Amino acid sequence: MAVEAVEEVPEPAPAAPSGRPAVGPRTKGRRRRVTAPWNLAQPPTLPPPLPAARRCTHCASEVTPQWRQGPLGPRTLCNACGVRYKTGRLLPEYRPANSPTFSPLLHSNSHRRVMQIRLRSDSDGEGEGASPAVRATAKARRAERAAARLSAKNDDGAPAPAPAPAPGPAQAPLP
């Protein structure tokens, strides 16, 4: 008795509902590009250079939601300084509070406080460390302000007498 070996035949792929086999379409005439063998070493490539960190030209901050145009061109000021520049209120004493160069004694982010700092620095011009020319200029400014106040108070419309000029370094009295 001879037993015959039965060879198993794989079942064909199930047909799609349209009657076609479930195999992808064949490409017509396209050939794959021949690539270099994988065993060849690639030359070492340097990583791309990182872009230079952008800094605000006024306050030196690096992080801002938007870069704005300043006196040196587009995208040179941070958002806070750019808004101040556009309205004409960007002063050296102004700094955003998160700026790396912010010092509470020298800077503020409030316009009112900036104006107080500017007035204080004008009146401090006559301190001990100031030169005689700076002291004379500060005295002359104060005299002009006093004259302006007197002329504003003058009811009869006549001009107020001008105050005598303060003796400066060139007008010092002789001993």
The domain spans of the chain are: 53-103, 110-151
pLDDT for residue 33: 73
DSSP E strand stretches across 17-172: 68-70, 73-77
CA 26 – CA 70 distance, rounded (Å): 60
Region 53-103: CATH code:
3.30.50
DSSP 147: H
pLDDT higher for 143 or 54?
A: 54
Per-residue model confidence as pLDDT tens digits over 9-20: 666 555 556 666
* C-alpha gyration radius of the chain: 41
Residue in 90, 56, 149 with CA at minimum distance from that of residue 65 = 56
Question: What predicted TM-score, i.e. pTM, was given to this entire model?
Answer: 0.43
pLDDT for residue 72: 93
pLDDT higher for 156 or 68?
A: 68
